[in-house]
A and B are shown apart, each in its own frame.
Chain A
Amino acid sequence: MPDDTPIPAIHDIGGAARFHCTPVEHDEVPPDAFGKKVDALRQILAQKKLMTVDELRRGIESIPESEYFALGYYERWLRSIALLMVEKGQVEEGDLR
């Protein structure tokens, strides 16, 4: 690819060379208690019109690269949900420290 090809955003990983040689591990383990709780919380906040799935994604996409790849799936969701709830004034930053 030419050098001026723009670098895709962090989450936009279709075809990313860095995973080219990584086997897809056939991991069927269901989410743990932490993951299920984050998942359920997200659904409830969406149902109460306090956030949309696109806001969730935008929050996930704003996680810095080093954290994005180090955090687990539902850990990224939680970071985004917390960010959104602070942004919308539903909770205060001090509540989360």
Chain B
Amino acid sequence: MAAPPRPDSIALLDRLMAALVARGIVTEAEVAERQANTDKASPETGARMVARAWTDPAYRALLLSDGRAAAEEMGVSMAGAPPLGVLENAPGRHHLVVCTLCSCYPRAVLGYPPNWYKSFAYRSRAVREPRQVLAEWGLNLPDTVEVRVVDSTADYRWMVLPMRPAGTEGWDATRLAALVTRDALVGVAVPVAA
């Protein structure tokens, strides 16, 4: 669990906000509105994009060539957001996304990064011993699969397009989307048909 903020940090935020408000730089209402907007983003968006790509070849092609346009087609506003790249898993290749330098994450389509993604342990270990990290979370990939770690170091943000699980023939996009978890969109899990 992430520790709660220290009292001196809470006091610092209060003082900084008060100074910025006093100088007319921001208002409390602006901050609250922005927070409410940020709260709306969630992995359900990424899941819907993946499910549509599984059922619509033209959308799949768009998703892989221009993630930003693909997100906008699902009604996500990408104005001001970094470019979105989508990494296609295949029978011989599994992608795992990490940001070793900070915590770059495709927030427009996945929401706030979870604490584990921001943790020192994940940031340091995923790039060096990805198979161990995945195995500890229950994903054992065969040796015939290339594990490709994607270190998100610069201007793009990366999301994984997992493989559609067996046993989902004939499912519609809504039912498929329910199988796609945040973990699968980062690459620490793969979707399975329940």
Interface of A toward B, CB cutoff 8 Å? 11-16, 18-20, 22-32, 34-41, 43-45, 47-48, 50, 57, 60, 69, 71-75, 78-79, 81-82, 85, 90-92, 95-97
| A47 in contact with B2 given A14-B124, A78-B12 (CB within 8 Å) | no
14 pairs from A and B in contact (CB 8 Å cutoff): A25-B1, A32-B2, A34-B5, A34-B9, A36-B35, A36-B38, A37-B13, A40-B38, A44-B34, A45-B25, A50-B25, A71-B6, A82-B16, A90-B23
A27 and B2 form a contact (CB under 8 A)? yes
A32 and B136 form a contact (CB under 8 A)? no
A47 and B80 form a contact (CB under 8 A)? yes
* Size bracket of the B interface: 35 or more
List 19 additional contacts besides A12-B101, A39-B38, A48-B26; criterion CB under 8 Å: A13-B120, A13-B123, A20-B128, A24-B137, A28-B116, A37-B13, A37-B31, A37-B35, A41-B26, A43-B38, A44-B31, A45-B26, A47-B80, A48-B25, A57-B102, A73-B103, A85-B19, A90-B20, A90-B23
Give the residues in chain A near B45, CB-CB below 8 Å.
none
Give the residues in chain B near A85, CB-CB below 8 Å.
16, 19-20
Interface of B toward A, CB cutoff 8 Å? 1-6, 9-10, 12-13, 15-20, 23, 25-26, 30-32, 34-35, 38-39, 80, 98, 100-103, 112, 114-116, 118-129, 133, 136-137, 151
